[in-house]
Amino acid sequence: MVKGAKKRLGKMGEELAARYLRERGYTIRERNWICPEGEMDIIAEEGNELVFVEVRTRRGRDFGTPEESITRRKRAKLIKVAEVYLQEHEWHGDWRIDFVAVEFTRSGKLLRVELIENAIVG
């Protein structure tokens, strides 16, 4: 997949994930929040809990499922990014890291948008 096409696919996946979360009552606080440790796709609130969301989008399964793309290294990086955000924003309440899998067929038909709560635990 060409780099520009991959970026567009990722952006489309993030848009679908944000809509999916809003439909389930989440309030989106930030999109593509960046710090020296890395980036968080979506930061939201659900009730009184802060939710960090990693979105993974795949077209076809040539490179595995969205879930399979989260390596141990990526998990550690997401935890570090969340910790930086918590410290910078002085958040002392509950928080978690969720994962949204967005999957399309090779021809571009949406197969699923699936939320996995507490997907990454520190």
Give the domain extent around 94: 3-120
pLDDT digits (tens, 9 = 90+) for 89-105: 999 999 999 999 999 98
**Strand, helix or coil for residue 85:** helix
Cβ contact 59:75 at 8 Å: no
> What is the amino acid identity at position 11?
K
pLDDT digits (tens, 9 = 90+) for 65-87: 777 778 889 999 999 999 999 99
For residue 13, the domain's CATH number is 3.40.1350.10
Confidence at 4, pLDDT banded by 50, 70, 90: confident
CA distance 17 to 42: 9
Number of domains comprising the chain: 1
